[in-house]
Amino acid sequence: MPALLELICPAGSLPALKAAVDNGADGVYLGLKDNTNARNFSGLNFDAKSLAEGIRYAHGKKVKVLMALNTYPQPATLARWHQAVDTAATSGIDAIILADPGLMAYARKNHPNLRLHLSVQGSATSYEAVNFYRERFGIQRAVLPRVLSLPQVENVVKHTDVEIELFGFGGLCVMVEGRCLLSSYACGDSPNTFGACSPGHAVRWQQTPKGMETRLNGVLIDRYADNEKAGYPTLCKGRFDVQGETYYALEEPTSLNSMEMLPEMARLGIAAIKIEGRQRSPAYVAQVTQVWRAAIDAVKKDQAAFKPNPAWMAQLNKVSEGSMHTLGAYYRPWK
């Protein structure tokens, strides 16, 4: 039976992985402690020991483990990415999530049985792109960027036999996923190579008489009054002076929450729903996984009668950036 609405949850640490597994994830995704993945933050992610224990724990409860290797290798350090693919293949990882075609070719050639998923960082938004990766590298699933409306997603689904995974909840990128240069512009580190947007070394927070200031590599990107909610220290979520007016010139800090579209996603045969947040704590993973498990179970039981429970939405808003949510691009009248 093809996969339908598998719940894929983030794990930045072993306790987070266990929280996902214990609260009903069908799969967890994780990364290694280096720049081979796009959540390369200090102290986060898995080493050989925690990876082995994580896989043992998840597989013991019939939960899949996916490994994100979704940055773009650089010539001088290519061996690190190859080694990471080899590690995934030999340690029992169920699928690797890739963005770089060169790495897909390597995985295909050396580990033909290893399942490949196309990362959101691959930025494939059309069925032609998805099918290209299928034909050339045999990818079995594609994670679509959060830039498509649901009718556009439907158009992709109709024209491919690659499984489609959509984001369900979590931090929202500005609408050029996998191609964003904002962090690179401010800090010299690109998420696609360094493995992190707004890396910790470039971020400074300071409480001042005017409010809490966020600086990225010395550049003031926001100043919050005492009663204002804060967002992640990324350029896209900063407030800027534009022709004498200071406002969120790119996007507002908010989280994606597509729960009310679950019945439609079920109808389209969406294979999996991804929860964002490998940088977050086990407490977040436990809370969000629990809510989404309940929601997906409810949709599978009765698509027509499904309505997001207000208590679930409140729980999700509580952990959201800016403490609010949006349907993002999934629902929009323009194309």
Partner 1 sequence: MNLPNFPKPLARLVATLPSWPASRAFVAAGNLVAWPSLRELDWSHIAGRRFRVQVSDLGLNLYFSVHANGFRALRNGLADVTFTATAQDFARLALRLEDPDTLFFNRRLLIEGDTDLGLMVKNMLDAVELETAAAGMPVGMGRVVMKLRQLALH
Report the interface residues with partner 1, using CB under 8 A: 12-16, 18, 41-44, 50, 199-201, 203-207, 212, 224, 226-231, 253, 279-284, 287, 318-323
Q: How far is the CB of 285 from partner 1 (least distance, A)?
A: 9
DSSP for 14-25, please give it.
HHHHHHHHHTT-
Which residue number, 61 or 307, has a Cβ lying nearer to partner 1?
Answer: 61
Burial class (CB in 10 A: 0-12, 13-18, 19+), 84: buried
Instruction: Say if residues 164 and 156 touch (Cβ distance below 8 Å).
Output: yes
Query: Which H helix or E strand runs over 73?
Result: none
Which residue number, 16 or 116, has a Cβ lying nearer to partner 1?
Answer: 16
Q: How far is the CB of 82 from partner 1 (least distance, A)?
A: 25
Q: What type of residue is 190?
A: S
**Number of neighbours of residue 125 by Cβ within 10 angstroms:** 18
Which residue number, 123 or 281, has a Cβ lying nearer to partner 1?
Answer: 281
Tell me the two tokens of residue 87: 């590690």
Which residue number, 266 or 313, has a Cβ lying nearer to partner 1?
Answer: 313
Q: How far is the CB of 327 from partner 1 (least distance, A)?
A: 20
Q: How far is the CB of 227 from partner 1 (least distance, A)?
A: 8
**Contacts with 9 (C-beta within 8 Å, 6 or more apart), sequence order:** 20, 25, 27, 28, 29, 275, 285, 288, 289, 292
Q: Which of 114, 24, 105 is nearest to 63 (CA)?
A: 24
**Number of neighbours of residue 95 by Cβ within 10 angstroms:** 19
Which residue number, 145 or 253, has a Cβ lying nearer to partner 1?
Answer: 253
Q: How far is the CB of 81 from partner 1 (least distance, A)?
A: 22
Q: How far is the CB of 58 from partner 1 (least distance, A)?
A: 15
- Degrees (nearest 5) of the Cα angle 66, 67, 68? 120
Which residue number, 26 or 321, has a Cβ lying nearer to partner 1?
Answer: 321
Q: How far is the CB of 209 from partner 1 (least distance, A)?
A: 14
Which residue number, 107 or 319, has a Cβ lying nearer to partner 1?
Answer: 319
**Number of neighbours of residue 211 by Cβ within 10 angstroms:** 15
